[in-house]
Amino acid sequence: MSNFIDYLNWRGDLDFEKSPLNLVDLEIFCQVIMIDFDGIIKPGSIKNKQRLRETCQKYVNQKKDVNKIGLLIPSITIDLYLKMGKTSRFKNILVYNYNYTKDEYLKCQFGAITFEVDDTVVVVFQATDDTLVGWEENVNMIFTKGTPAEEMACAYLNNIASKIDSDKKLIVCGHSKGGHLTLYTGLNVSKETFDRVEHFYNFDGQGVWLKDYDEEYLKERCEKITEVIPQTSCIGRLFEHPENYIVVESNQKGLLQHNAFTWEIVGPDFVYLNRRDKISREIEEAFHEAIVHLSYEERVNFCNSLFDFLYGTGYHNLSEFEDGFTSMFKSYMKLTRNQKSQIKIPLTYLIKSKGVLAFMARTQREMKKYNKEVAKVEF
């Protein structure tokens, strides 16, 4: 199977003049932004620009545990980042304006970095990291528009767009939640900022509620928005989406396709398919059915009860749940009968879906196989 490491081996010697910026490059940026750059990339200013190779050296010098990245983030992400710093293609690009916020009171997790590739500025929004509060904010999207991260993303992009040189191109992208924030900014930033952006790329990220926007307004904005999803996309079909999407081929099945390291690459681009598969469409329909059946109050109650249960374990990061069955059981038993019911109602609609059941079965079968394959990869 080919992945981003292979891409660097094949094309890392080609600078952007010889081979222009492409979707694979953008998704690579989306992956490496998941690394903890606190103390590595200077925060909050477009004046403090650093070469990527310099940040790699600082990371090696300052980080004690380079393998600790989070439960759902591929461990080879750090290998990818450090390898980028040694290639002619990536080592001299500029990185700046690092922003990371985690606030349990505001129910917010937000991250962004700006990359500068010759005459192009790329704003990249971070996906959900290992923090429980980040996942809480994701779930809260089923009943609210304008979450703290969404508002921070708009403010970040407005700021960058107003300060970069007028002759620079501006691209916005993100994977998963970062893709959702890309889509959200594309639909909600000021007209001045929107006009400044060349294109928005949502890589398998959640959607929005399209009913919140006027039809003509939506049509105009979506001309600059493209979504990139694998053939059995699940996360990238949650909520509602513009129909302007392209499908890439993943060499895995089920939920593992959300991991962009499984997306097939040939030369300077992904391998594309004509359409997504039946299971992806069934999952999208099942999710909508589950949400449509819930009133606003039921959605709020579901989110509150679910995270009362999760926070009741005493954990604050997903990686802590790996060996936390006892704590989870105790926390669940402390919930009231009403809270348990509020969690079960939407899950019942999903469980009834044959597509969801088939999707989870595929994921379970492939998980062990994928872990064995990754373990064999040499860098």
pLDDT digits (tens, 9 = 90+) for 308-324: 666 677 766 656 555 55
Is the confidence at residue 97, as pLDDT, over 90? yes
Closest of 103, 129, 128 to residue 180, by C-alpha: 128
Cα 170 → chain centroid: 19
Q: Average pLDDT for residues 128-139, to the nearest whole number?
A: 70
Q: What is the pTM of this model?
A: 0.85
Residue 254, pLDDT score: 79
The gap between the terminal CA atoms of the chain, to the nearest Å, is 14
Q: Average pLDDT for residues 288-297, to the nearest whole number?
A: 73
Is the confidence at residue 356, as pLDDT, over 80? no
pLDDT in tens, 174-225: 999 999 999 999 999 999 999 999 999 999 998 888 888 999 999 999 999 9
Please state, in angstroms and rounded to a whole number, the distance separating the CA atoms of residues 85 and 18: 18
In the chain, what percentage of residues exceed pLDDT 70? 75
If one counts every other C-beta atom within 10 angstroms of the C-beta of residue 369, the result is 12
Strands (E), the chain: 50-51, 94-103, 108-117, 120-125, 169-175, 199-203, 225-230, 245-248, 265-266, 269-270, 272-273
Please state, in angstroms and rounded to a whole number, the distance separating the CA atoms of residues 227 and 352: 28
Record the tokens describing residue 48, joined without a space.
Answer: 């403090």
If one counts every other C-beta atom within 10 angstroms of the C-beta of residue 236, the result is 27
- The more confident residue out of 102 and 120 is 120
Helices and strands: H and E segment counts in the chain? 14, 11
Is the confidence at residue 64, as pLDDT, over 70? no
Reported as type and span, the H/E element at residue 9 is helix 4-11
Closest of 307, 282, 285 to residue 143, by C-alpha: 307
